[in-house]
Structure 1
């Protein structure tokens, strides 16, 4: 079962990574670089402060906690436990892949990019999606960033899929804790 799943994952990776186009390489490099998104994060922070004033602090702390939890679970817990090499470190794949960047760390399961972007998109959506339906586009952004990791040969599809799950679960947990704390604070103010 695991061998079949691994073969499917490798075959899907090779198919997806093989769909590269030279003109798309610099775009995917820009998308996959973490620093490219600092202006978006600054806009999000500014919008939250403008829109919600003091309430923005709780939202921001929850989002930061979700991203940090997703990142630490992916990078500090799962990758060292699983030890699955990135496709760009697999000698058997070297002649078959289209690497666009330096390979990065040795292990790739799970994708920290997928974990952190989906943690942010999910926490923003869970906290504010009812009031601002346009925030659903955050999931498209997270999916594009996650796909870029396959494009640049840093991750297999299952690395990305598992990272997505870790990010979503991290956000759900942090938003749940935030809401419980809000309830507790409201209850103490009433009492």
Structure 2
């Protein structure tokens, strides 16, 4: 079962990666670079502070930053524990694919997918009642995650697992926010 799943993962990766064309390489390199998304992060914080009272916005921002630290830590611990080589570092597959980036750390799970889905989902849960079209921002984690296949550094299962872990982490932090930070705001405003 596991072997057939890993075979599907490799075959699907090679198929998707080789769909890439040279004319779009620069696009995927820009998409996969975190610095390219700084304007989006500023937009996220703008909407939190624009649509929310300052004391709530500060707590939501702290919750988002805590989530980022959690995801980074969880990603690094998992990558080192699982120790799955990236496709760009596997000789057999490396000869078949297009490689646009060459990180040397491990592959499972995708930190790009986990962090982008986590940040977007938690931000969405904070602003969804105030910004009805906020769901549009999920284009970011989808493109960001997909870019990892086209630049040759993640298998589909890395991305699927990262996306699920990111969404689960966002839901956990949203629950913790409502349980502790939001409740403490209610109590502090009553006093």
**What are the Cα deviations for residues 134-171 of structure 1, in whole angstroms up to 9, with x where unaligned?**
11122221011000001100100000011101111111
Structure 1 stretch displaced more, 21-30 or 128-137: 128-137
Partner of 1:33: 33
For residue 133 of structure 1, give the secondary structure of its aligned residue in structure 2. Answer: coil
Question: How far apart are the structure 1 equivalents of 2:58 and 2:105?
Answer: 36
Question: How far apart are the structure 1 equivalents of 2:179 and 2:124?
Answer: 17
> Any unmatched runs of 5+ in structure 2?
none
Query: Cα RMSD between the aligned structures?
Result: 1.5
Q: What is the TM-score of this pair, normalised by structure 2?
A: 0.93
Partner of 1:146: 145
Partner of 1:62: 63
**What are the Cα deviations for residues 97-147 of structure 1, in whole angstroms up to 9, with x where unaligned?**
00012x113310000000110011110111111322211122221011000
Query: How do residues 83-162 of structure 1 correspond to structure 2 at under 5 angstroms?
Result: 83-101=83-101, 103-162=102-161
Structure 1 stretch displaced more, 2-11 or 131-140: 131-140
Does the CA-based 8 Å contact 2:44-2:123 persist in structure 1?
no
Question: How far apart are the structure 2 equivalents of 1:188 and 1:63?
Answer: 21
**What are the Cα deviations for residues 39-84 of structure 1, in whole angstroms up to 9, with x where unaligned?**
2112222232232241211121121122221222112x11011000
Does the CA-based 8 Å contact 1:17-1:98 persist in structure 2?
yes
Structure 1 stretch displaced more, 28-37 or 136-145: 136-145
Partner of 1:6: 6
Q: State the aligned residue count.
A: 189
Question: How far apart are the structure 2 equivalents of 1:46 and 1:25?
Answer: 31
